[in-house]
Every structure is written in structure tokens, then in C-alpha cells.
Amino acid sequence: MNDNNTKICVIVPTYNNAKTLAGVIAELKSYPYPIIVVNDGSTDLTTSVLAAIDNIEVCSYTPNKGKGYALQIGFKKALLLGFDYAVTMDSDGQHHACEIVLLVEKSEENPTAIVVGSRNLQVNHMSGKNTFANKFSNFWFKMETGLKPEDIQSGFRLYPLHAIAGRKYFTRHYDFELEILVRSAWREIPIVFTPVSVTYLPKEEHISNFKPVSDFMRISLLNTVLVLITFLWIKPARQLRKFHPKSIGKYLKEKVFSTTDSNKKIALSVSLGIFMGIIPVWGYQMVVAFALAHLLKLNKAIALVSSNISIPPMIPLILYGSYRTGIFIAGDSSDFDISFDAVRQNIFQYLIGSLVFAAVCAVIFGIIVYLLLNIFRKKGKV
């Protein structure tokens, strides 16, 4: 990339950092990287500061919409201008333009990766509130991706623009910088770290737009959602992607028909699959069954096969059985038509009934399978 620096730009999102912005841009101009400044609805003298600076691209809008939104605007502008990579720098003066080369060198080793400048939080005396938020995010990032993080909240990064383009992101504040890393890792875009230094102005001079309560709550909520998606969808889906049509038969033979699991484990796996196939999580039965089987250390293949009890021919029977069970529990004797419209009109009876009906069917099927295995395995027929 060093042979064609015009393919790399620097994006500087800014909000009410007029005191430091000119110095940041002046430092950047010592290096051959085009500069895009995103003025995120600043209400101080930022507009005047930018008007006095030549040879930079400026994107401005009002009102303030958050750092994540500003970064996304910057990415779109960079792509329109034909750049392949974008370095992001905060406008408060904490990052050093001379260290962009560290990100670029790391990117040359990993051309498809997002490179994050990793700060030494102890040596650089980061404030207590930011240190806690960073460690908090690092912990959950590892849970969500399986990767070992170093400094998830660092805003000094290099992005491969074409790899992250065309995605709709749901956050637009500081939580965006966590979302884009996690979702990129899910798409198997490498995330790599390289050490960088950082300078914090004295407390009376430093303007921080990080709001300890609201931003921490946003990050916490985002982590809650990402963890749920990780265990209910991402991890099961990755396991399923390991198989292609030619290997499915072999897998079923080994894991289902020729399994050495105990009779109890097989029966419980069947029960789990039956239960998940009946309860009203339409479209996600297999995913949730797989995830739960993994967590409970049951036979995932058997649970998946059993969850297919909800195939189309069985749906009317499942709906009817669930609703009738709900009628028995709730004591309502209203008429019921076997349709999804009827389910919506009698939702309480259906929900209660489906859980009980699923549990009863799971127990019955589990017992039957357990008894059959005890009979036929002893005879050597299974």
C-alpha cells in the first residue's frame, strides 16, 4: 500500500473539539494521506476552524448524531472518492499522526484485516471510567467472537473499506465501534492489533464526549444482543456450515445411527429436539436445538433430526395438540380452526398449551426411545 498512498485516507470525526482540531489536521498534513473531516453537528467554533483549512474534504450536518454515525458518513465518502482503506483518528489530539505508518505496516501483513491501534491503558493513564468500559468491552468481545482482544474501544484504526461496505449497522454512538468489530469477526474479516501510544490532555483541557451513563448503557445493551445472537445463531450456524451434502449422510451415520452415546444421552437428545420442534419459535427450532444440545453436552445431530418434527405435514397436528392442551389448562371451550389465524386469535391458550404439549411429547418420545434402545441394543440389533 505504500506504493499508492492515494488509496488510503484519514477520517477524522469531530464534535465540539475546535480547540484541538486544527492541530490534529496540521499534524496529519505532514503525511501524504488525504483527509476527510466529519463535523458531527458541532455547536462550537468547529465550522469556522474547518473553513480556514484548505485541501481537506469536509462532511457537515446537524444536529449531532453520534460518533458511529459520523464514521459511517466518512466511510461512504471515502468509497465515493475511490479509497480502499481508511484510517480513523479522534479529533481530541490523543492519537499521533506519525503512528499511522504502524497501522499501514500491519495492514500490509494482513490486507483484508481491520487493524486496531492498541493503547497501553496503564502506562497512558486512561481515566477510570474509560478503563472500566474498555475492559468490559474486551471481555464481551471475546465471548462474542472467540478472539483475544487488546483494546476494543480504541478509535485509532485502519479499515479495509470494501470489506465493511454494504452493511446496515444499528448503532451510531460509541457502541458502533464495538458492533463493527464483532460483526466483522462474524464474517471472518480478521481483527488484528498493533501497539500505539496515546496522549491525554490535562483534565481541565480535555473534552470527552463519552457519556459514562448513557454510553455505557448502550454498550451493555449491545453486548446483551450480540451475546444472544452468538449463542443462538452464530456458533450453531458455524457448526452447520462445516458440512456439505456429501458429508451429511456420513455424519448422520456416525453421529446418529452408529453413535456410542449412552441410551440416556440419546433419549434426552431426542426429547430436546422434540420439545424445540413443537414450541413456537418458528424458523429457529433447529438453531436453538443445536445451541442447547451443545450447551447441555447432548448429541447435536440427534437433537437436530428430532427437531424436524415440525415439518409441514405435522404442523396442523402440532397446532391442534398445542391449542387443545391450552384449552384443557385454561378451561376455555371456544372453537378452534387449524390455522395460523386461529393461533393469533387464541394466542394465550396456544402459548400455554404449546409449552405443556411440547414437554409431554418430549417425555413420551424420550421414554419410548430409551426403552427401545434398552431392548434392541441388548440384542445387538441396534
- Mean pLDDT for the stretch of residues 359-380: 84
C-alpha cell at 320: 391442534
Q: 48 pLDDT exceeds 70?
A: yes
Quick one: pLDDT band at residue 2, thresholds 50, 70, 90?
very low
CB 231 within 8 A of CB 146: no
CA dist 362 and 269 (Å) reads 10
Percentage of the chain exceeding pLDDT 70: 79
Indicate the range of 59-63, 149-153, 311-315 predicted with least confidence: 311-315
Whether residue 346 contacts residue 334, with contact meaning beta carbons closer than 8 Å, is answered with yes
What ranges in the chain are assigned the alpha helix state H? 18-28, 46-51, 67-80, 100-109, 128-145, 161-164, 176-186, 212-229, 235-241, 245-252, 263-278, 285-296, 300-307, 315-330, 340-345, 347-379
Lowest mean pLDDT among 67-81, 166-180, 318-332: 318-332
Nearest by Cα to 174 from 44, 67, 98, 291: 67
Q: Comparing 96 with 249, which gets the higher pLDDT?
A: 96
Q: Which three cell numbers stand for residue 353?
A: 398449551
- 63-72, 142-151, 343-352: the lowest-pLDDT one: 343-352
CA dist 64 and 69 (Å) reads 9
d(CA 32, CA 15): 25
More confident residue, 349 or 272: 272
Averaged pLDDT, 320-343: 67
Average pLDDT, the chain: 83
Check residues 365 and 2 and name the one with the higher pLDDT: 365
Give per-residue pLDDT as tens, 250-269: 555 555 556 778 889 999 99
Residue 97 reports pLDDT greater than 90: yes
Contacts of residue 162, Cβ cutoff 8 Å, sequence gap at least 6 = 79, 84
Q: Are the C-beta atoms of 118 and 194 separated by less than 8 Å? A: yes
